[in-house]
Amino acid sequence: MSSSLSHPSPRFDRLDALRGAAIVWMAGFHFCFDLRFFKLTAADFYRDPFWTGQRTAIVSLFLLCAGLGQAVAQAQGLGWPRFWRRWGQVVGCALLVSAGSALMFPQSWISFGVLHGLALMLLLLRWAGPRLGQAAAVLIGAAVIALPQLCSHVFFDNRWSNWLGFTTAKPITEDYVPLLPWFGMMLWGFALGRWLLAARPAWLQGALIAPLQPLALLGRWSLSFYMLHQPVLIGLLFAWTATMAR
């Protein structure tokens, strides 16, 4: 058995807490979306900048954390067996999200959402990260973010090719996180993580105040929480609306 499996690498509580904060924000956002789905509010999650801006910020924070996490994993010498195990969990959950969304939203089911994008980006960063210098990671990240704003084509306006991000219009789907521009945010997180580990390690490795410890715990179980929170919220709202209808 390899040493990486025998002696698990230490956790970075501050990074886990940041991921946990993103999870809490996401759950609140989804709860508001569910209220609209049950027609309990009239919020417009597809056009109102208040909601679309929050979605962008939440996804950005998640991918920034993912990039930070990959910088830490690289510094700790994370082995391929552990990487593949975690990557397989992400892929499996992405498939479950597609299946579940197809049942609830048959016309706008999720074919390439945040977990699908995360799985592809993790593969790319696992390969490219050790080969990229700090300046290259920042500059390529900026190019990846800018490119889909400059280039688009109708060829990419379908489910088989829109995962690249060169669409002429946002697809009709409940979640859409294409490779471009979002991989740029993960690259920036990766570059930031390497810089912090080299120049400001205490910002990541320092102690966490007691009130934020629950966020760190939540951040360690982010994938499980992601998969469970919507079924729980929807189930509770369904039960509540059914009770009110009696």
Per-residue pLDDT tens digits of the chain, which is 246 residues long: 333 334 456 788 999 999 999 999 999 999 999 999 999 999 999 899 999 999 999 999 999 999 999 999 999 988 899 999 999 999 999 999 999 999 988 999 999 999 999 999 999 999 999 999 999 999 999 999 999 999 999 999 999 999 999 999 999 999 999 999 999 999 999 999 999 999 998 888 888 999 999 999 999 999 999 999 999 999 999 999 888 777
User: Kindly report the CA angle at 208 between 202 and 213, in degrees rounded to 5?
Assistant: 150
Confidence at residue 9, expressed as pLDDT on a 0 to 100 scale: 65
Q: Are 65 and 19 in contact (CB under 8 A)?
A: yes
Q: Distance between CA 3 and CA 69 in Å, rounded?
A: 20
pLDDT on residue 213: 94
The backbone torsions φ and ψ at residue 166, rounded to the nearest 5 degrees and listed phi first, read -95, 35
The Cβ of residue 14 has, within 10 Å, a number of other Cβ atoms equal to 21
If you search the block for the tokens 């490779």, which residue do you land on? 179
Q: What's residue 1's pLDDT? A: 32
| Cβ atoms of residues 192 and 67 within 8 Å | yes
Q: Report the helix count and the strand count for the chain, using DSSP H and E.
A: 10, 0
The model's pTM is 0.91
Tokens of 20: 């946990």
Sign of CA pseudo-dihedral 127, 133, 138, 142: negative
Report cis status (omega within 30 of 0) of the bond before 181: yes
Cβ proximity of 63 and 22 under 8 Å: no
Q: What is the residue whose two structure tokens read 């700090």?
A: 134
Question: Considering only CA atoms, which of 184, 208, 204 is closest in space to residue 193?
Answer: 204
User: φ and ψ at 143, to 5 degrees?
Assistant: -65, -40
Nearest-Å Rg of the Cα atoms of the chain is 19
Q: Give the tokens for residue 121.
A: 């980006």
Which amino acid makes up residue 105?
F
According to the model, what pLDDT value does residue 187 have? 98
